[in-house]
Amino acid sequence: MGARQLEFSSWLSDRVHHTETVLERLLPEPGTVPGRLHQAMRYAVLGGGKRVRAMLAYAAGEVCLQAGTASTAQEMALDYAAAAVEIIHAYSLVHDDLPCMDDDTLRRGRPTVHVQFDEATAMLAGDALQPLAFELLAQMPIAPALIVQAVQILAHSAGSNGMAGGQAIDCESVGSMLTRDQLQTMHSMKTGAMLGASVLLGGVVAGASSSVRVSLESYAAAVGLAFQVVDDILDVTADTATLGKTAGKDAASDKPTYVSLLGLDGSRELLHSLREEAHAALLPLGAAAGRLGQIADFIVGRDR
Amino acid sequence: MGARQLEFSSWLSDRVHHTETVLERLLPEPGTVPGRLHQAMRYAVLGGGKRVRAMLAYAAGEVCLQAGTASTAQEMALDYAAAAVEIIHAYSLVHDDLPCMDDDTLRRGRPTVHVQFDEATAMLAGDALQPLAFELLAQMPIAPALIVQAVQILAHSAGSNGMAGGQAIDCESVGSMLTRDQLQTMHSMKTGAMLGASVLLGGVVAGASSSVRVSLESYAAAVGLAFQVVDDILDVTADTATLGKTAGKDAASDKPTYVSLLGLDGSRELLHSLREEAHAALLPLGAAAGRLGQIADFIVGRDR
């Protein structure tokens, strides 16, 4: 492992650990009423996950905040933004795993929330996580005008024109062949919107100018799509133990994927060009965007 | 019907009609992708409901905005706030009606969303309605600092310390006897929190001072509880056709209610004193709070 990669690995594990600590603190105490609900919320969010969305928020924040010059308030705001995107992601997994959706029993190597608790508690835990994310944004110690922008970005990305909408298209498209454009629309909503929101929130909180935001948005679009292409490839090539979730699920349920549309080789070619797009989008940002470039490589190269 | 009551009736039907028009406009178009999801969202929100939460927001706004002096921006912000609380309420009904919760097939005299569409679509419609409410608040044309307060109020009231938390306690308490304090805690979270948020949002948007907010909060606490006591009484005394939802449901499912705890007479006595509390809380606000007083009477006297 080269020195640069070692440094990135160490940053990554530091941020994963930090994110876990922040989430631990910001989630409701397991002992407070309603205890079972709070325990389910914590179970859903803590103890696992790649924390890709938090990483993106922190790395986008770094583009705008020179190392060592971030104020305590800005650092705290970044923590809250990173926690908010992880919480929205966690809620979406809880609901996706429910019997009326994917009916999955394994997530991050553990029983899914409705298996560990029960269906009603799993649904309510998801329902309660969502407003918690917005509450955290509202508590960020930054200018109210920036908070309003953050709320707008998160709400739009989580809603019917973003994540929830992509999920709905996914449900409707089971068993049907989508065109590449339709598949891309679905994924850009289902996964891309929240990955993009993570990048943008980091930028907004750190005071990104509008030209920086444009670069961040192009980067996020490429990385968001790349993330999904890798997911589709891993669903075919990895095993359940490595993934920590059920492998081969999409193929088994006859869901359209990049692999079913382009084949494995075609999917890998697409991945390669998306990685290049992501790096090209970062060029105007110079060295400050180095971390975002490393994350793009990490997402493309991940094996789970 | 006296002149005062006639005037209130006319205000009420005007506001119900206005709220419907506002929601019609603010919900996603049924023809835009994902169409089925957008249709389910509209089905869940439009065409029914007493719009009590919107009424409370408008009436609280009236306390602070002298008639005829509200700016267009303030009026628009009140519309968005009223829409937001109705949308959160609608999402909660969709999820409550799902098979893993109350498993109900009738709501507002029509098939529930999962019956009309399907379970996955109903869950996603609820999931997508929630961020829409926050997006609308973020779009209000008022000072960002007020928007941030509004987001905080709505998020807290909808989350695990508010509506979703009350719902969780409700699920856990089926078949067990709660004390009056426990029952009150549950209802103040499950129903009271969002009714209170409706009142407070109206006040915040209209620029209520902190002393006015204190009065609004006391009023909302009494009215929120009264609303639930009436619900419990109607569950026993009204029929399904009048209610537009299944009557006798709580008794049948062995849920603790005010009627099971205090009896019908005891519940009516409690209702009487809550009505007096609500009016007492409004005294410092003078004539401007007349509408809120009328709504308290309306809630206590409603038969569905």
Residue A249 lies in a domain: yes
Nearest CA in chain A to B119: A100
User: Rounded CA gap, B11 and B27, in Å?
Assistant: 24
Per-residue pLDDT of A16-68, as tens digits, reads 999 999 999 999 999 999 999 999 999 999 988 899 999 999 999 989 886 56
Q: How far apart are CA B11 and CA A185, in angstroms?
A: 45
Tell me the one-letter amino acid at A152: Q
Q: How confident is the model at residue A243 (pLDDT cuts 50, 70, 90)?
A: low
Look at A148 and B143 and tell me if their CB atoms are within 8 Å. Answer: no
Distance CA B273, CA B259 (A): 16
Q: Which amino acid would we find at residue B259?
A: V
Backbone angles phi, psi at B110, to 5 degrees: -130, 165
Question: Chain A partners of B101 at a C-beta cutoff of 8 Å?
Answer: 120, 123
- Residue A240 scores a pLDDT above 80: no
**Residue of chain A minimizing CA distance to B152:** A135
3-state secondary structure of A162: coil
**Interface test mutation site (partner A, options B127, B161, B170, B188, max chain A beta carbons within 10 A):** B127
| pLDDT recorded at residue B17 | 96
Interface contact B29, partner A, CB < 8 A? no
Count Cβ neighbours within 10 Å for each residue of B204-231 and write b for 16 or more, e otherwise.
bbbebeeebbebbebbbbbbbbbbbbbb
CB < 8 Å & 24+ apart, contacts of A21-24? A22/A79, A22/A82, A22/A83, A23/A83, A23/A86, A23/A87
pLDDT at A183: 87
**pLDDT tens by residue, A138-179:** 999 999 999 999 999 999 999 999 999 999 999 888 777 788
On whether residue A58 sits in a domain, the answer given is yes
Is A95 close to B151, i.e. CB distance below 8 A? no
A4 lies in some domain: no
Query: Is the pLDDT assigned to residue A233 strictly greater than 90?
Result: yes
pLDDT on residue A4: 85
Chain A interface test: which of B87, B100, B112, B176 (most A C-beta within 10 Å): B100
Which pLDDT score, from 0 to 100, does residue A198 have?
A: 98
* CB-CB under 8 Å, B147 with A151: yes
State the Cα–Cα distance between residues A41 and A52, nearest whole angstrom.
Answer: 19
Q: Which residue bears the tokens 């914590």?
A: A42
Q: Is residue A272 part of a domain?
A: yes
> Where residue A121 falls among pLDDT bands split at 50, 70, 90?
very high
**What H or E segment, with its residue span, contains residue A161?**
none
**Within-domain flag for A7:** no
Q: Of A57, B16, A183, A259, whose CA–CA distance to A247 is shortest?
A: A259
Q: Is a pLDDT exceeding 80 seen at residue A245?
A: no
Looking at the complex, report in whole angstroms how far the Cα of residue A128 sits from the nearest Cα belonging to chain B: 4
Say whether pLDDT at A72 is over 90: no
**B124 at interface of A, judged by CB pairs closer than 8 A:** yes
Say how many domains are in chain A.
1
Q: How far apart are the first and last CA of chain B?
A: 19
pLDDT at B272: 95
- Say if A16 is an interface residue toward chain B (CB within 8 Å): no
Nearest-Cα residue of chain B relative to residue A164: B128
What residues of chain A lie within 8 A of the CB of B128, using their CB? 158-160, 164-165, 168
> Helices marked H in chain A — which ranges?
3-26, 35-45, 52-64, 72-96, 113-116, 119-138, 144-158, 163-172, 180-187, 193-205, 210-237, 240-243, 249-252, 258-282, 290-301
pLDDT along chain B (304 residues), means of 10: 88 96 97 95 92 97 76 93 98 96 91 96 98 98 97 98 96 82 91 96 94 95 94 85 64 76 94 96 94 95 80
Our CA angle for B285, B23, A98, nearest 5°, is 110
Q: What is the CATH number of the domain that holds A136?
A: 1.10.600.10
CB contact B42 to A (< 8 Å): no
Mean pLDDT of chain A: 92
Q: What kind and span of H or E run contains A2?
A: none
* Among candidates B121, B131, B143 on the partner chain, residue whose Cβ is nearest the Cβ of A168: B121
Q: Which residue of B has its CA nearest to A139?
A: B152
> Is B141's Cβ below 8 Å from some Cβ in A?
no
Domain that holds residue B23: 3-301
Residue A85 confidence (pLDDT) above 90 = yes
Domain membership flag for residue A173:
yes
- Written as one string, the DSSP assignment of B184-232 is HHHHIIIIIHHHHHHHHHHHHHTT--HHHHHHHHHHHHHHHHHHHHHHH
Separation CA A113–CA A167 (nearest Å) = 19
The residues, ordered by sequence, that sit 6+ positions from B270 with a Cβ below 8 Å of its Cβ are B229, B258, B262
Q: pLDDT tens across B146-171, in order?
A: 999 999 999 999 999 999 999 999 98
Residue of A37, A41, A255 to mutate when probing chain B, most B C-beta within 10 A:
A37
